[in-house]
Structure 1
């Protein structure tokens, strides 16, 4: 196996290359933090004690069929060591976490535990639609890419096809394109119109029918009737209180109800009614000429979403005026939503739900209460931004008939959007070092503050003083600012546990915490210059407005004093850094994928025990190739599926100088791909 150089971190937040940051998130780490509000944090506020309400667990079983499924049977980098070695883990394993942990490494390979096999399911450029040509890196066309698997796969969902044994729909997001790795001789200052068209086609989502084999976890793609490519030119319908508003009208769509394309689709979720939710995240980077906007209110709104400067990095505004804010100032307001796709209807028009607000949605995940109320959780993946939930006013209709689907596709268009405020139990004990309070845990209470209520008629009611309903839906960050939402360390994936109903949040990192007058450390974000992130556990009154919380993991090198693993013996855990996506197995164990490991090793997938005396035990299940990111974990009895994103993406590398040849080997170009891992029979 080929060893690759360790990524040198560029800003202290993670080991992502600066090239990845440029094309994935528009260099968010290098720009001023968009949230300049004086929002509340623990050191500023004291709230009266809240009554802890019992978790509504009736909906948990509905989520079992929706979420990751069940168990697989049985940042600058410091020079800190990464011990807490898996070889030292001597205690008997918990059910579902019965593998020998993979050691940290920098190999150009997916590394899995002993006794497991792996296989690529589908890679960038493989056929999705009938008639797709064989992938030819040196002769790409937009017409071909429109029929092929897109670039930089992130979220993945696997839906069983009723009546088809071992048949599934694999639904995958394609978050972003890294043009220097798509094209040889790429000139960032002078991209071509052909390169623009190919990149548009490489974004979006893919729906692919796959088939499993008895006795194996391998999955084989096929050209099924449900196969579909959704791209940067696919038509979407806008619904909810912002649909038709002046903020969403453009010269191409004067109605403000129709959008072409979806971009930067990061993580997502599956619904109990069989659809897929996808979060539009770093949409700020696709639009140029923000400096031409002189109206102070409009300019402030752009800045709050990190939209600034002249030309964009990709220069798309040269080829399509909708990406030029000087010509189409409202086009940007039509992105940054939760997207819903019905994969069972390959000709259906996907939806963008404005009732769920507009921000950098990492994902949207669903919990259903006993009475059929649907709750959608979502994090705003930006330093010092907020956590949200939407509580539906409509009840989910059971069944998979057409009437049920028509009804359920409207559930996320009526209800109330909330933002979270957290308080700590021991605020005076937090000094920014990560030292545990006297109680031996970081814990507290929280309240969901209502921002926007949407009625059955689609009309919105603002619950924020000084903002209209349309403004809250389109400029949701400012609404959170006004009500004093708690500033978090990059809230990414939310996931409800299908066994217990508790909700977990990946907080990836925030090296600006407590620096240059930025918000100080608090009990939910207990470290200044936080490069490794943490996992928040919420016991939520799902349809209500109160919750209690604690930190399950404060990530990093277990040898360091500022880390915490639920109280578990830190000599018996794998080091983990920069948690990103979350999933669960049927035993209720949490699985975490990482993005930007700041501990001098490749990103990976980890299993964590949540209950009992082993709570907090963390084992690394796999690592992805160097330069890559672990995304979209699916955990089931038969297999683990991960999305390997941007393999070999080093600053010194490019299509002209590839530093990874995964997954095809030889002298091939690296290609993002989906991988299945299963236990050897």
Structure 2
């Protein structure tokens, strides 16, 4: 039996950083939104469109004409598909897309990236096999097209698919149902480290269907043991130095690679999220030297998430190597076009549980990176480069993300907001308060944001920016501690244990027991990515329209969904929303069904269900070819929460549905995370 089985989507290895189990009878304050006239209907009626902003030279907000974010226009070509029905119990163990579309598996965990054989999923994984195969638990991704010219150029048929691998289920890795009591060995740690990280995969259209090119000079794995450089103000900091790296400038590996970003100079940004779960320590060691305030603020615990790496590898022992944990929690930049390049941890972007990194280039070519810290009651950040992007000189952009200013957001009740600078020597970020220099501000980013009084949010996850207006959207997945008692907040002295606060509802997070989540959006003043102020509104409160509690019904104009997570704009301005809820269509999700991918019109709020997923999985990761005719979508951890048998909850993708796969002939021995390709039968643009 799987001894780690717990609440849906909450097994230790895949913490959702929240649980949706806190019913309450407290009064809602949704009336605040009405008082501020920030409901979507009122917002859209009163806001200026993109055309008006352009006509006013981008000065509408700066001139005081409105405090609020500007609604982006409806997508080019509209939303033309017929929505699919919710996948309610008894669930279909497959991907379903609208009539006129097809979804086919492209690559799965353990598929070879070289000329070597594919992994046999019936066997335990090994480090040697994993290093030449696609990693586990696929997540954020991006498609980098090969250079092309003209309509139908080669970039639409050949490119590099770069994808994250967030975590592993050790039982599936080692083919054991007793991982919690098995002997822990260095080989097991190394195999799991190899399953994490990033895969760079060359893909090409062959006879009308995308395939993985094997072998390819570009294909490679970046793992939990791949050497990474440290860039930015924290490089070499005393808190990053270890016995293995006394200079504090070279970290072994990247971990818990959740969502992503990409830069206009052609690099990939992978985001380290729940890194704390890999570290632990023996009880006697912690008794002698208890967890520090800093460790508690980042969620360190004696057993971590149950990986037990610290039992066999001292690198993950909090007391043997106390600085090792400071070397994770960063945004890592990777050059997919150079297989010999070394990934760089960009410390100027701050250390926290990075969910994604949305890059926006301003009119002045300054670069902004918008980021969320994915845990209950954490913050929203923006980095603004001091250097400008040079579109004619790729090499000149190499260190743009090492130089600039990091800000944290404060959302005001009137629909305005401020970006507060996290700069050493300012706003109490001084030695007297525990910040010796800028490097320490960035390493202790959460404590610095506490000191500035930033707005605690309901799990900030993915960021997406509109391709024409620079309007930024952010998913706030859920927060079962919002509005519960006794009320509390993150202490300004940075001593609050991660996710333990119980903040009251506020304007930007207006629902108690926010089990279904919401999506917020903002626009920096004047459309300037470097502006210190912004206007915001709530795009959607997610919910179940059949829920008897009015505040949990949401305000969605279209199909219900909850726990919004993945977020992405296509080139035509369609907003795609992926969900990470309990994937079993039970309890709070009985009417909504399993996880989905939605498509929304940012101007009207109309939302349609485009894709439903297999059982017990998360839909995460999305990207497309430049022509918009081939869509890549990730399906993570199908069959999670299995008990007794690996396939107790799902046999996808090797069951033959949405296949074939590399293991179809042998049948399903365990579920495998995969990337699917979605196309339109008539060859048209996805979503039209």
Q: Please give the TM-score of this superposition, normalised by the length of structure 1.
A: 0.80
Computed over aligned residues only, the root mean square deviation of the Cα atoms, in angstroms, reads: 2.9
Partners of 1:57 and 1:415 lie apart in 2 by 28
Partner of 2:198: 205
User: CA, structure 1 residues 226+339, in 2 after alignment: closer, same or farther (shift >3 Å)?
Assistant: same
Verify: 1:550 aligned to 2:537, yes or no: yes
Partner of 1:482: 451
Partners of 1:243 and 1:174 lie apart in 2 by 25
How far residue 28 of structure 1 moved from its aligned partner, in angstroms, is 4.1
> In terms of mean alpha carbon deviation, does 504-513 or 103-112 score higher?
103-112
Partners of 2:643 and 2:99 lie apart in 1 by 33
Following superposition of structure 1 onto structure 2, how do residues 453-532 of structure 1 map, counting pairs within 5 Å? 464-465=429-430, 466=433, 467-468=435-436, 469-517=438-486, 518-532=502-516
Partner of 1:180: 171
Partners of 1:356 and 1:290 lie apart in 2 by 32
User: CA, structure 1 residues 310+662, in 2 after alignment: closer, same or farther (shift >3 Å)?
Assistant: closer
The unaligned stretches of length 5 or more in structure 1 are 1-7, 11-15, 32-41, 44-51, 61-91, 426-443, 454-459
Deviation string, structure 1 residues 251-301 (Cα, Å, up to 9, x no partner):
100000000011101000111000000110000100011864589997000
Partners of 1:617 and 1:169 lie apart in 2 by 33
1:316 to 286, 309, 318: 309
How far residue 184 of structure 1 moved from its aligned partner, in angstroms, is 2.3
Partners of 2:645 and 2:294 lie apart in 1 by 35
Partner of 1:676: 677
Do the aligned residues in 2 keep the contact of 1:509 with 1:578 (CA within 8 Å)? yes
Do the aligned residues in 2 keep the contact of 1:452 with 1:473 (CA within 8 Å)? no
User: CA, structure 1 residues 133+639, in 2 after alignment: closer, same or farther (shift >3 Å)?
Assistant: closer
Following superposition of structure 1 onto structure 2, how do residues 209-608 of structure 1 map, counting pairs within 5 Å? 209-213=202-206, 216=208, 218-289=210-281, 292=285, 299-310=292-303, 313-399=306-392, 404-425=393-414, 444-452=415-423, 464-465=429-430, 466=433, 467-468=435-436, 469-517=438-486, 518-541=502-525, 542-560=529-547, 561-562=550-551, 570=557, 573-597=558-582, 598-600=588-590, 601-608=593-600
> In terms of mean alpha carbon deviation, does 278-287 or 105-114 score higher?
105-114
SS at match of 2:441: helix
Do the aligned residues in 2 keep the contact of 1:386 with 1:486 (CA within 8 Å)? yes
User: CA, structure 1 residues 361+290, in 2 after alignment: closer, same or farther (shift >3 Å)?
Assistant: farther
SS at match of 1:272: coil
How far residue 312 of structure 1 moved from its aligned partner, in angstroms, is 5.5
User: CA, structure 1 residues 192+549, in 2 after alignment: closer, same or farther (shift >3 Å)?
Assistant: same
User: CA, structure 1 residues 225+619, in 2 after alignment: closer, same or farther (shift >3 Å)?
Assistant: same
How far residue 586 of structure 1 moved from its aligned partner, in angstroms, is 2.4
Partners of 1:333 and 1:54 lie apart in 2 by 44
SS at match of 2:538: strand
> In terms of mean alpha carbon deviation, does 285-294 or 597-606 score higher?
285-294
Partner of 1:18: 10
Partner of 2:83: 101
Deviation string, structure 1 residues 419-442 (Cα, Å, up to 9, x no partner):
0001112xxxxxxxxxxxxxxxxx
Do the aligned residues in 2 keep the contact of 1:452 with 1:461 (CA within 8 Å)? yes
User: CA, structure 1 residues 487+221, in 2 after alignment: closer, same or farther (shift >3 Å)?
Assistant: same
Partner of 2:585: none
Do the aligned residues in 2 keep the contact of 1:592 with 1:607 (CA within 8 Å)? yes
Partners of 1:133 and 1:678 lie apart in 2 by 26
Partners of 1:653 and 1:137 lie apart in 2 by 15
Partners of 2:440 and 2:146 lie apart in 1 by 41
How far residue 224 of structure 1 moved from its aligned partner, in angstroms, is 1.6
Do the aligned residues in 1 keep the contact of 2:410 with 2:454 (CA within 8 Å)? yes
Do the aligned residues in 2 keep the contact of 1:293 with 1:299 (CA within 8 Å)? no
Partners of 1:326 and 1:30 lie apart in 2 by 30
Partners of 2:75 and 2:6 lie apart in 1 by 34
Do the aligned residues in 1 keep the contact of 2:125 with 2:173 (CA within 8 Å)? no
User: CA, structure 1 residues 375+225, in 2 after alignment: closer, same or farther (shift >3 Å)?
Assistant: same
Do the aligned residues in 1 keep the contact of 2:75 with 2:573 (CA within 8 Å)? no
How far residue 462 of structure 1 moved from its aligned partner, in angstroms, is 8.8
Partner of 1:664: 654
Partners of 2:530 and 2:373 lie apart in 1 by 20
> In terms of mean alpha carbon deviation, does 543-552 or 188-197 score higher?
188-197
The unaligned stretches of length 5 or more in structure 2 are 21-30, 33-46, 59-73, 149-153, 487-501, 583-587, 656-666, 683-688
Partner of 2:641: 650
Partner of 1:111: 96
How far residue 226 of structure 1 moved from its aligned partner, in angstroms, is 1.0
How far residue 510 of structure 1 moved from its aligned partner, in angstroms, is 0.2
How far residue 240 of structure 1 moved from its aligned partner, in angstroms, is 1.0
Give aligned pairs, total: 580
How far residue 537 of structure 1 moved from its aligned partner, in angstroms, is 1.1
Do the aligned residues in 2 keep the contact of 1:53 with 1:546 (CA within 8 Å)? no
